[in-house]
Amino acid sequence: MSAPRIRPARPEDADACARVLTASITALCDADHRGDPAVIARWVANKTPEGVARMIAAGGVRVAELDGRIAAVGEVDKEEGKITLNYVDPPCRRRGLSSALLAAMEAELARSGIRTARLTATATAREFYLRHGWSPVGPGRAGRWIVGYPMHKPLAP
């Protein structure tokens, strides 16, 4: 297995990114959606190839490639200082892809002058972020379809 390559997503990546996002949410986020088809449907509604193409066009989507294929998808919002997505393809879980993608997005925010990054973690990902130096900013709060956990992390200049 080669090391992951992190890069900005390109328009031609929309289909693969949509597949990874939908598979990850459906298969790995049971702590959040509890297998409820209606919750899953609402969560992935904008994760279609067309929806992801719009996200890619906005410029913040990043991918981790493993052995030449997209295995994880993230999104960073430099204006807001936020990481808004970090999902891994289920068969590629536990290979360091989400960690590599997170580190790259944190570094990108730091290079942009952001000193404290923010995100809203899912219940599934909350412990992952805690292990990577993120801290809770308050209690979980109900979002559009799941409970989100606001977090922040100081970034090195």
The three-class DSSP label of residue 142 is: strand
User: Which CATH code fits 5-114?
Assistant: 3.40.630.30
Distance CA 35, CA 38 (A): 9
What global pTM score does this model have?
Answer: 0.91
CA distances from 119 to 85, 122, 125 (A): 9, 10, 11
Burial 92-131 (b: 16+ CB within 10 A, else e): beebbbbbbbbebbbebbbeeebeebbbbbbbbbbeebee
Residue 126 pLDDT more than 60?
yes
Distance CA 153, CA 110 (A): 11
82 forms beta bridges with: 77, 118
Per-residue confidence at 143, pLDDT binned at 50, 70, 90?
low
Residue 22 pLDDT more than 80?
yes
The amino acid occupying position 26 is T
Of 5-9, 44-48, 125-129, 131-135, the least confident: 44-48
Instruction: Give, for 21, the enclosing helix (H) or strand (E).
Output: helix 14-28
**Per-residue model confidence (pLDDT) at position 144:** 67
Tokens of 72: 């994880």
Instruction: Give, for 90, the enclosing helix (H) or strand (E).
Output: none
Mean residue pLDDT of the chain comes to 91
Residues 6+ apart with CB under 8 A from 38: none
Residue 62 pLDDT more than 90?
yes
Residue 147 pLDDT more than 80?
no
